[in-house]
Amino acid sequence: MSFDFDLFVIGAGSGGVRAARMSAAQGAKVAVADDKALGGTCVNVGCVPKKLYTYASHFGHDFVDAKGFGWQLEQQPEFDWNKLVEAKKQEISRLNGIYGNMLEGADVTILKGFASIVGANTVAVNGTEYTAKNILIATGGTPFLPHNNWVEHVITSDEVFDLSEFPKRLFVVGAGYIALEFACIFKGLGAKVDVSYRGDSVLRGFDQDIRSFMDHELRKQGVDVHYQTNIDNITQTATGLLVTLDDGFEHEVDQVLVALGREPRLANLGLETLGIEQNSNHTIQVNDVFASNVPGVYALGDVVGGPELTPVALAEAMTLVDHLFGEDRRRMDYTNIATAVFTHPNIGTVGLTEQEAREEYANVDIYRSEFRPMKHTLSGSNERSLMKLIVDKDSDRVVGLHIVGEGSGEILQGFAVAMICGATKAQFDQTIGIHPTSAEELVTMRTPVS
């Protein structure tokens, strides 16, 4: 049987675009369809704009810190939200164009519109049906919203970058990494920020030391965190939104940002048409080459339930391309995937948490250092940094590394390589530190903590 395409990719995000380009480079005839802008969540409403806004927010802290180094600001700097939004739009538009040029340069057919599976090896876009030997679902995720009446008054991370007015009073619902990143962004830009979370600590799933440390740093910079609370109601007022928590707390704000996680974007895709199996969390079940239970249908990225990170989707795409059009030797290894959280200060983490390590290994050593960064000895800021190593004592291998401090993501990348190579604590100790840096602390800690 002949097909219109060897591979039809539904979704033009990071994973979908990489799979399309690399498959075409192997000689496959490829199409990619999406009803949204090229680049997916990361480029348009995720990593890229978030990092740009993070840079913007740091200037708020830097203007204050500069005084300790002799800089005299004659007048208070003014922040123009609309200029930032417009600059962001121009950059995203540039990146959208780059993605389009890359796909066109690889001879990938780009179809603008919502794609759905309408039959075996068949996809429909804008009323036209296309056949493909292989179909890849890479539609990414979308912000989760609870089924409450008050959600009509809230925004999500999809809308927060393009608000017509800067919210001087922001209420954030949730305390995961997305929630805290936006809390820190808007605090740095000058907003009054509150965070509400039903649990008893921020950043569920992270190392407990990181969670406790970040709670203190948030409070020190003026972010008010309300634990073990849920939204009872949100009502419109003449001057904003009145948020009422179930403990009786009331607070009027300009915007309410809900950041309670994300869910796979699979609605109306036609999974039921072929009986594509899903997990209990609604992600698509796949094997180690990202094949679903239906022959010829594959899925990767956020829709399969792994780490929701752009580099993970890219790596998964390369595994799939090798399976379909290469030597079929690549397989994903999800251990020691490093990640950064762009809060203020930044967080970097790779490997196991202390709790995970104690469950997996019989003997664990913990190395921990908390200190005031050299920069802040003059800036006057009370911001502190945390470095933590987790070591399997029997093998001496470093199995967890966690950082809170400026530039954590940049610091972490090289140490992640070392951990992938199985670095031991003795090898960390043999490494000469770069002085004076915060990173040198990771190779100078000698005595385990109790």
Residue whose C-alpha is closest to residue 231's, from 192, 180, 194, 176: 194
The encoded tokens of residue 235 equal 């009502």
166-176 CB burial, b ≥16 within 10 A, e <16 = bbebbbbbbbb
Q: How far is CA 356 from CA 25, 205, 351, in A?
A: 41, 10, 9
Q: How far is CA 55 from CA 39, 58, 62, in A?
A: 21, 5, 11
C-alpha 43/C-alpha 144 separation (Å) is 19
The domain 339-443 having CATH identifier 3.40.250.10: the answer here is no
What length is written for the chain? 450
- 149-260 belongs to which homologous superfamily? FAD/NAD(P)-binding domain (3.50.50.60)
Q: How far is CA 38 from CA 47, 48, 147, 179, 269, in A?
A: 14, 13, 30, 25, 18
312: left (phi over 0), alpha (psi -120 to 50) or beta: alpha
| Fold matches, 5-143+263-325 and 339-443 | no
272-298 CB burial, b ≥16 within 10 A, e <16 = eebebebeeeebbebeebbbbebebbb
Q: Are the C-beta atoms of residues 345 and 405 closer than 8 Å to each other?
A: yes
Q: Are the C-beta atoms of residues 132 and 257 closer than 8 Å to each other?
A: no
C-alpha 178/C-alpha 195 separation (Å) is 12
pLDDT (tens place) for every residue of the chain, 450 residues total: 799 999 999 999 999 999 999 999 999 999 999 999 999 999 999 999 999 999 999 999 999 999 999 999 888 899 999 999 999 999 999 999 999 999 999 999 999 999 999 999 999 999 999 999 999 999 999 999 999 999 999 999 999 999 999 999 999 999 999 999 999 999 999 999 999 999 999 999 999 999 999 999 999 999 999 999 999 999 999 999 999 999 999 999 999 999 999 999 999 999 999 999 999 999 999 999 999 999 999 999 999 999 999 999 999 999 999 999 999 999 999 999 999 999 999 999 999 999 999 999 999 999 999 999 999 999 999 999 999 999 999 999 999 999 999 999 999 999 999 999 999 999 999 999 999 999 999 999 999 997
C-alpha 308/C-alpha 141 separation (Å) is 9
Let me know if 251 is a catalytic residue. Answer: no
So what CATH class is 5-143+263-325? Answer: alpha beta
* From 61, 153, 216, 435, the catalytic residue: 435
- Indicate the pTM of the whole model: 0.96
Give the start-to-end residue ranges of the domains of the chain. 5-143+263-325, 149-260, 339-443
